[in-house]
Structure 1
């Protein structure tokens, strides 16, 4: 539901904005993903690894500190983004200004979602995202009906509706975020949070650098066409991100019960997601000329259609990599997952921007696909090593416990 909400905003923006203004919206959204991954690494990833299956009192105490940390990250990142908005040209400046205003709402709402999953309450997470969707309908309608819709308006409507859901999360959990306990939370989980934050920011930051490099090389409108492709792939992103929110906490429980089943569970998830990515890509390729493209993204689908096969290949690699990445997170393998993500992020930036220089937008997509499939090899090798290390540690601990 969360990914679907983002998809609706992006699709509506694609209908209402030209490629240049859509590119500005895309850069703002990519900036949001950088802040989001920083928040997850510092606030909610440790919660999923350490608190899955905990008792209600322990969960509530941890969630107060976790959501407080997410709020502090949102306020800090929002101020930085608004400062950046002063030094970038329009229409990027307007989109960035709106994002800076609403980042605290967006990050707090995301933190509530993961808190509910950790507590084994997926229905509560769904209800919270439904509140966001319900609040989005009137706000996005007002923006779409304006005589001159702008990236500023779309970002502001999207973030303010998330604020309604963030407030609803406080009521659902019957507790309030405690920003004053951020330092205590960070210190308690310092062996995980910094590495998880760096890993997440490396992944999302590479997307931001990729878009900036493409904008510099091919123009802001090229970023808009990349956003169109991402929007068309939106329904698959719903499956990719939604399954991860459920899978990692459950995998953490499985790892404690039966370590030998972790790799097979990760492989099943990765293969299933890769098959879904291939199916969706083929479906798009067939249906775009028959009205689906016009329905979803308007006239911009014509320029985006040739990029769909390359995007599909890239997402299949991302899916297989996500399977192994979930295992690394569930096992607390922050050091290994960080190394994998840093290597892959570097490849994404270098190969995609280099591809743009050599062959335009198709070259960008080819470079991204090569980086994704290289990441598959690195991630699965890291998971194999992590499982072997954990097995050795458990075997060593068992005789000590008996003695």
Structure 2
């Protein structure tokens, strides 16, 4: 596939995936009471963490391979097999534990455990198609999932419990999983399958999981923690606000997960860094424009989007919009670092993710939910500055190392 067509298909695929995520949460908000949406949001947040771990451990190392080789085809089969096995084991454990715990939230988590192999299996195939330079096949699967998921949720009655919505959302992805599996099998049939290789020492995914844990999951789990020690409505309020930025959230995650195969088509590190900088500027502008549109949205229109959750979410839009603008810059900076030297991203993720948790907690203590939102914004801004500072230093160091020595410098014993 030509580079321009691949980029268009990849961007379209990320857009469809983003649209699916935001419409799922919007539909759930409209179907649910405030309490039920808070439960659904908490479960969806758990799923987001598990999805990120799966992508970090299995998907991101996969897309760094050369897509035309037999080794890459075998790696795709191994990644899919490993993900399905791991999801079945983890899902069964989650469902079994929650079966013994009373409460509506436990029931929703048990439902997540039952559908986990379907949703994680469909996602890892997107990475496989990206690795094989077949983003149009990933797009086909995601379009089918969008249609099936929204159609199934639209048939649910108002006030449906969170557990029921989770089951419907998960099982509705089954047709997309089957289609993706059939399309992938035609491309990788006969390649060796070694899922155990993803557990061996030295697998690059281990490092990426640590980065994700400190870079993404820490902040999300801290939101759950605030809901546990404070008020459960904190989760619903913050998730309601971030739901409105769902497309950007998916695009940011996809930048590091699916960006390397696309930027890898460019010759030279300088061109890749410039492309990442342009992408950062574009995404930041989109985030700022989207935040402005949401801030000007009339209250009746907002209630049609999020139902009873709209008033609390609307109050957080300035902070959340600023946060996503900073996240656009920082995410593209991490993508540039991943292309320059992936070993440099871990320290930044650790330091500034822990700082974000501190800002979140301190903001909540000082100003409640709005203070927590501004704390997250401050953390994202600091992380963006640090990331691009590191990119500039690495780029300058690489350029200096490649500068040819003059004749005089090569023969220091001679005088000019």
The TM-score normalised by the length of structure 2 is 0.85
Q: Distance in 2 between matches of 1:82 and 1:319?
A: 36
Per the alignment, residue 155 of structure 1 pairs with 166
Q: Distance in 2 between matches of 1:373 and 1:126?
A: 32
Per the alignment, residue 401 of structure 1 pairs with none
Per the alignment, residue 104 of structure 1 pairs with 117
Matched, 1:301 2:317: no
Is this contact kept in 1: 2:323–2:377, CA < 8 A?
Answer: yes
Q: Judging changes above 3 Å, is the alpha-carbon distance between structure 1 residues 119 and 221 closer, same or farther for their aligned structure 2 residues?
A: same
Q: Judging changes above 3 Å, is the alpha-carbon distance between structure 1 residues 79 and 211 closer, same or farther for their aligned structure 2 residues?
A: farther
Is this contact kept in 2: 1:65–1:178, CA < 8 A?
Answer: no
Q: Distance in 2 between matches of 1:166 and 1:15?
A: 27
Is this contact kept in 2: 1:22–1:227, CA < 8 A?
Answer: no
**1:251 CA drift (Å):** 1.4
Per the alignment, residue 274 of structure 1 pairs with 284
Q: Distance in 2 between matches of 1:57 and 1:178?
A: 7
Per the alignment, residue 168 of structure 1 pairs with 179
Q: Judging changes above 3 Å, is the alpha-carbon distance between structure 1 residues 226 and 87 closer, same or farther for their aligned structure 2 residues?
A: farther
**1:162 CA drift (Å):** 2.1
Q: Distance in 1 between matches of 2:234 and 2:219?
A: 14
Deviation per CA, 1:295-334, whole angstroms, max 9, x where unpaired?
Answer: 211232122211101001111111000111112233451x
SS in 2 for 1:107: helix
Q: Distance in 2 between matches of 1:349 and 1:83?
A: 31
**1:60 CA drift (Å):** 2.1
Q: Distance in 2 between matches of 1:91 and 1:221?
A: 15
Per the alignment, residue 18 of structure 2 pairs with 3
- What is the aligned length? 387
Q: Distance in 2 between matches of 1:375 and 1:342?
A: 10
Per the alignment, residue 127 of structure 2 pairs with 114
Alignment equivalent of 1:367, drawn from 367, 375, 378: 375
Matched, 1:376 2:359: no
- Structure 2: give runs of 5+ residues left out of the alignment: 1-15, 405-416
Q: Distance in 2 between matches of 1:367 and 1:319?
A: 17
Q: Judging changes above 3 Å, is the alpha-carbon distance between structure 1 residues 48 and 394 closer, same or farther for their aligned structure 2 residues?
A: farther
Q: Which runs of 4+ in 1 moved over 6 A?
A: 176-180, 392-396
Is this contact kept in 2: 1:49–1:331, CA < 8 A?
Answer: no
RMSD of aligned C-alpha atoms? 2.6
The TM-score normalised by the length of structure 1 is 0.87
Is this contact kept in 2: 1:84–1:96, CA < 8 A?
Answer: no
Per the alignment, residue 273 of structure 2 pairs with 263
Per the alignment, residue 313 of structure 1 pairs with 322
Greater mean alpha carbon deviation, residues 156-165 or residues 381-390: 381-390
**1:75 CA drift (Å):** 2.4
Is this contact kept in 1: 2:360–2:374, CA < 8 A?
Answer: yes
Per the alignment, residue 184 of structure 1 pairs with 197
Q: Distance in 1 between matches of 2:209 and 2:398?
A: 23
Is this contact kept in 2: 1:117–1:249, CA < 8 A?
Answer: yes
**1:154 CA drift (Å):** 1.4
**1:117 CA drift (Å):** 1.9
Q: Distance in 2 between matches of 1:389 and 1:34?
A: 35
SS in 2 for 1:50: coil
Greater mean alpha carbon deviation, residues 80-89 or residues 259-268: 80-89
Alignment equivalent of 1:19, drawn from 30, 34, 37: 34
Is this contact kept in 2: 1:48–1:118, CA < 8 A?
Answer: yes
- Structure 1: give runs of 5+ residues left out of the alignment: 397-403
After superposition, where does 1:29-68 map in structure 2 within 5 Å? 29-51=44-66, 54-55=67-68, 57-68=70-81
Q: Distance in 2 between matches of 1:179 and 1:32?
A: 30
Is this contact kept in 1: 2:280–2:333, CA < 8 A?
Answer: yes
Alignment equivalent of 1:79, drawn from 88, 92, 98: 92
Q: Distance in 2 between matches of 1:234 and 1:186?
A: 32
Higher helix share: 1
Is this contact kept in 2: 1:69–1:182, CA < 8 A?
Answer: yes
Is this contact kept in 2: 1:64–1:177, CA < 8 A?
Answer: no
Q: Distance in 2 between matches of 1:71 and 1:178?
A: 18
